[in-house]
Amino acid sequence: MQYQIAGDTLPVVICQLAAGETMITERGSMSWMSPNMKMETTSGGGLGKMFGRLLAGEALFQNRYTAQGGSGMIAFASSFPGSIRAFEIGPGHEIVVQKSGFLAAEASVELSVFFQKKMGAGFFGGEGFIMQKLSGRGIAFAEFDGHVVEYELGAGQSLVVDTGYIAAMDASCSMEVVTVPGVKNALFGGEGLFNTVVTGPGHIWLQTMPISNVADVLRPFFPSNSSN
């Protein structure tokens, strides 16, 4: 499989597949394709995998696209202004991506749900509580909100991040949701009650414009559904 990422703030990845090659996606992200691409909707691994995708904000079913009778082309576009990044997944090179961040991948890439270590704090820690782990082997594409800033964390080195800004991290990193210290800071600081501490070793990708933050800014401008 060969690919090209085109576009700036509204990118698309265009994939060229050899005959018989298959790609997977979970959110109906296909934008255009050649006529010989066969689509098949599957459970992608049974009820357990379906439930995990539901928790991670993805669709219950998985779409598979296979090039038949020759080479084929298929494109997957981002759903929000930002970036598309390609990752080479393999043993020792697994990554964890934000909820709803997975865009598409070669069929040899496996998806599973990733939970924070501390369940109690995680339930109140925002969208970063449940993420997706990409393992197996092959190329995977993820979409991030806004621009992407990267850091390499050494063993034991940590970074405190507002949960929604975490786009992806190496699976070798660990995460923990922590409460904001001090009652006054938590109630009046405007930063929420929880942060996420990411600890290395490993690489992390942070996004500058989480869609959840944009929704919060726009919410006061939408009319209320309640009756007058």
User: How many structural domains comprise the chain?
Assistant: 1
Assess contact for 112 and 136: CB atoms under 8 A.
no
Instruction: Quote the domain boundaries for residue 84.
Output: 2-219
Q: Does 224 reside within a domain?
A: no
What is the spatial distance between Cα 156 and Cα 174, in angstroms, rounded to a whole number? 10
Assess contact for 228 and 213: CB atoms under 8 A.
no
Helix (H, G, I), strand (E, B) or coil at 203: strand
Q: Does 99 reside within a domain?
A: yes
In CATH, what number is assigned to the domain containing residue 81? 3.60.160.10
Q: Does 72 reside within a domain?
A: yes
Q: What is the pLDDT along the chain (228 residues), one digit of tens a residue?
A: 999 999 988 999 999 999 999 999 976 789 999 999 999 988 655 555 555 555 545 556 789 999 999 999 999 999 889 999 999 999 999 999 987 889 999 999 998 888 765 544 444 444 446 788 999 999 999 999 999 999 999 999 999 998 789 999 999 999 888 776 654 444 444 455 678 899 999 999 999 988 777 766 777 777 766 544
